[in-house]
Chain A
Amino acid sequence: MEITSPSDLLPKDIYRQAAFLASKTSRASNADWYLEATQLKSQWHIWYDGGREVVSAIYSRDANTWKPGPVLSIAALSAAGEIEAELRGLLASGQFGYKPKSIGVIFHVADEFGVVDITPENQNPEEFEAVRRGLVEEPVAYLSDKKVNPENTAWRLLPFQDALENQQKAVAVAVSRERDKLKTLLEKFSVEHNFPLQLTVTSAPLEALAALNLILPETDRRGRLIVAVYARFTVLYALKPNGHLVQARSVNHRANSQIPPNLGDLIANTAMAVDMPDAMVFIVGASDTPSAPLLTELDNYSKTRLPIRYQWVDSRAIPEVEGMPGKRIEFLVHDVTRFDAIKKASGIPVNELSQLSWFLQDFADTGDAEASIYPTQSDMRLVQLSSLLSRVMGFGLVALLFYSLYTGYTIMKSDAWQLPPNEDHASVARMRTLLGEDQAMKFTNGLVYPRSRAWLVMDMLMNTFSGKPGLRVENFEYTIAPAVKQGAEKTAWVRTWKIKGFAQASASSSLEKLNSEKGISELFQEFYASSGDVTAQTAELTTRNIEVIINQSANAQYQRDLDPKRQARDSTAAYPVTFDAVITQYFDNKDAMAMDIKRPLSSL
């Protein structure tokens, strides 16, 4: 699948391309695709100063070991086929001692170093972070020279931490973009072999400054000038006693010359410009001794103009570079262990060390990440998350589908589901019929319940009053009436007996005996026991209550010695006592006597 810029694709095709890259390449699984070359475990360092030598070294970051890298000719740096062949060889040869999963290529540019001015309005140290980004993304706007061509050159900000009041606070370091071809080549190789290859282009003089500033012996209050002599140019750095950079200058060598013209003037003028006339001068080069032209120049200048105190520093003789291929001091800043030890030994506070990042900027960074045709690591994680979520939810969907099918099958196979509706309806109708029949029977039973039978009422009267010796009943009245209770579904009942009559003295005491709830209840209970009249039962029933009032008084017509004729004609005169009894029996609506108030079924 050919990878197309997302700006030329529809959103769905962008996603399809990202999904393709996530599934068919290692971009989702190998985080090295998104790291800088200097952060990778396996690094290939290439140093070139424009002379006859190309220094090539491989560095295993984890093992912290340096080895000579593939031998590169000068021509190989611009010939794609050779670099590709060397890369293949590097992967196949096992030079790292293990199979690398990525390689960071760090190109140390030692054949050019330009210092250009940035506009006065961008000299505010507080805005240097924005200026740094600006020089990467839109350099012309920040440079004093507006005729420059960003297609050919890359610029990086170099701040002067302790610049004097009236001097520049920063300059821009310029490096040509010749390595863009190498970058394109590496990207192509990377894609073709699904193998992360990252390129970082650094400025060798700046790397050297980062290392030398920490390594060189401390000076007194005079400060120091570091003169780094390369094959094609010389860089001069002015640093305060505290190590802060205040000036940087670069002068190209003339053809066939190993030193810049008027080096003595350059050193003296720079020292004067930064107000450090007595500064210690360290001249750094990759040889045991200074070259003859250099010695001649400095000696002549000291004799004829101003004496220059200088110290020659052979960068290859620095103990910290021992064991590094080519003994390049520029490699030192990438050696995690050695450079950490140097930083620690320098005694410089950690916050000051952060300034070193200005010397290690990547000149290959176009800052145009948004325009990249490849997705970021976050994008790949999103694709992976999408894939994972889709799988989880897809699995959940399938599981739910099977669960639903199984559940549905189980439910539909149950007896409950199979029950024909007409059978259920028939059972309802049948039950309704039976309940109606039951209610009809109960209703009928309620109607014919023997709650008030005349012959039993008469029987009770005979057994209690009329039939008792010494008692004569004159009037008897019996009623049964419903008792109203609001909201009740059944009737309560009240039965009343009113009995008037006469009594002999002997019977009067038995009447007194009846004149109590206990007495009358016992009388009713006895009648229930003898007759079976369920309405007379009083014992063991809480739904019934009975009251009695019997008033006795002297019979005004009573004649003690009544002749037999009169007795036959008017027997009431033979009784000395009259009585008036009222018996009231209550049945509440929970008693068996109770009757439904409503007709239970309309169809009855």
Chain B
Amino acid sequence: MSAYSGPIIKNGLIFPMLFLLMLIGGISYGLSKIKAEGAAREKTYAEYLIRVKNSHLLEAQLKPGRDRQKKMVELLKAEIKPSISKYLGESMARYKDKDYELQQVSMKHIEDRGAVGNMVQANLSKIQMTFRGGYGPMQETLFDLESQMPQLQMEKMVIARTKTFGVNQREALTFNVDYIAWKW
């Protein structure tokens, strides 16, 4: 090692290399930041394009169902018991003064959410109704009711024969029907 060696190594190799390495490091760091930001924006942009495309597809898919959805929501938001009463009344009007054909014995609201209500989080009401009459009228009436109120899901039905019914001692049927009415 001569008197020159140390200063040359320090001033000619170490310092310039450190300086250059710092510059290269700085530029590399800046470049890596831009690349990372670019990659992030590319990813965002790709997601944006997919999202726009999917939005158009979903929009096309949803558009035809919007009117029905609007009606369904209105239906689901409506008060249950008055609606049932209304539709039952309209349907059973055809059996007015013909008690032996179909007669509504009772209708009551059940507070307990029951097995279904305890499992699912959807809002619901439970209605229990009793009818007495013929099989056909009952089926017709329930058909009318369920057609008007598709949110009704029958949870339980019990049909039993009633031996004495009406003035003529005619055989009739008792219908106990429990409904779940899904709500909005």
Q: A386-B16, A397-B24, A462-B135 are in contact. Are A404 and B4 (CB under 8 A)?
A: no
CB–CB A484/B31 < 8 A: no
B121 close to A (CB within 8 Å): yes
- Nearest residue, chain A, Cβ from B14: A386
Collect the chain A residues with CB atoms within 8 Å of residue B160's CB. Answer: 474-476
B11 close to A (CB within 8 Å): yes
A400 to B29, CA, bound (A): 11
Q: A397-B24, A444-B69, A491-B119 are in contact. Are A452 and B154 (CB under 8 A)?
A: yes
A372 to B65, CA, bound (A): 97
Query: Mask for A10-28, Cβ within 8 A of B = 1, else 0?
Result: 0110111111000000000
CB–CB A441/B65 < 8 A: yes
A491 to B143, CA, bound (A): 26
Collect the chain B residues with CB atoms within 8 Å of residue A400's CB. Answer: 24, 27-28, 31
Listed stretches A119-127, A228-236, A263-271, A411-419; interface member: A411-419
Collect the chain A residues with CB atoms within 8 Å of residue B24's CB. Answer: 393, 396-397, 400
CB–CB A434/B55 < 8 A: yes
Collect the chain B residues with CB atoms within 8 Å of residue A389's CB. Answer: 13, 16-17
B167 close to A (CB within 8 Å): no
- Nearest residue, chain B, Cβ from A571: B171
Query: Mask for B4-31, Cβ within 8 A of A = 1, else 0?
Result: 1111111111001100110110011011
CB–CB B27/A397 < 8 A: yes
Listed stretches A142-150, A546-554, A594-602; interface member: A594-602
CB–CB B13/A382 < 8 A: yes
Q: A447-B151, A447-B182 are in contact. Are A15 and B7 (CB under 8 A)?
A: yes
B83 close to A (CB within 8 Å): no
CB–CB B156/A407 < 8 A: no
CB–CB A430/B55 < 8 A: yes
CB–CB A375/B2 < 8 A: yes
A482 to B180, CA, bound (A): 13
A326 close to B (CB within 8 Å): no
CB–CB A369/B2 < 8 A: yes
Query: Mask for A369-396, Cβ within 8 A of B = 1, else 0?
Result: 1101001101100110111011001101
Q: A12-B11, A416-B42, A444-B76 are in contact. Are A604 and B184 (CB under 8 A)?
A: yes
CB–CB A447/B3 < 8 A: no
CB–CB B16/A390 < 8 A: yes
A82 close to B (CB within 8 Å): no
CB–CB B4/A476 < 8 A: no
**CB proximity of B27 to chain A, nearest CB, Å:** 5
A419 to B23, CA, bound (A): 31
Q: A444-B76, A454-B142 are in contact. Are A599 and B55 (CB under 8 A)?
A: no
**Contact partner of B59 among A372, A434, A443, CB < 8 A?**
A434
B110 close to A (CB within 8 Å): no
- Nearest residue, chain B, Cβ from A458: B139
B62 close to A (CB within 8 Å): yes
What number of A residues sit within 8 Å (CB to CB) of B?
A: 87
A344 to B3, CA, bound (A): 43
CB–CB A428/B5 < 8 A: no
Q: A18-B4, A375-B2, A444-B73 are in contact. Are A491 and B120 (CB under 8 A)?
A: yes
**CB proximity of A92 to chain B, nearest CB, Å:** 33
Interface residues of B in 125-184 (CB under 8 A from A): 135, 138-140, 142-143, 145-146, 150-151, 153-161, 177, 182, 184
**Contact partner of A481 among B52, B61, B116, B135, CB < 8 A?**
B116
CB–CB B4/A376 < 8 A: yes
B residues contacting A by CB (< 8 A) are 2-13, 16-17, 20-21, 23-24, 27-28, 30-31, 34-35, 37-38, 41-42, 44-46, 48, 51-52, 54-55, 58-59, 61-62, 65-66, 69, 72-73, 76, 115-116, 119-122, 135, 138-140, 142-143, 145-146, 150-151, 153-161, 177, 182, 184
| 16 pairs from A and B in contact (CB 8 Å cutoff) | A12-B7, A372-B2, A376-B5, A393-B21, A400-B31, A412-B38, A416-B41, A417-B41, A424-B44, A431-B58, A455-B142, A458-B139, A480-B155, A482-B119, A599-B121, A604-B184
- Besides A14-B8, A411-B34, 13 more A-B contacts (Cβ < 8 Å) are A6-B2, A18-B4, A382-B9, A430-B55, A444-B69, A453-B154, A454-B146, A475-B159, A476-B157, A476-B159, A480-B154, A481-B115, A597-B120
A residues contacting B by CB (< 8 A) are 6-7, 11-12, 14-19, 369-370, 372, 375-376, 378-379, 382-383, 385-387, 389-390, 393-394, 396-397, 400-401, 403-404, 407-408, 411-412, 414-417, 419, 423-424, 427-428, 430-431, 434-435, 437-438, 440-441, 443-444, 447-448, 450-455, 457-459, 461-462, 466, 473-482, 484, 491, 595-599, 604
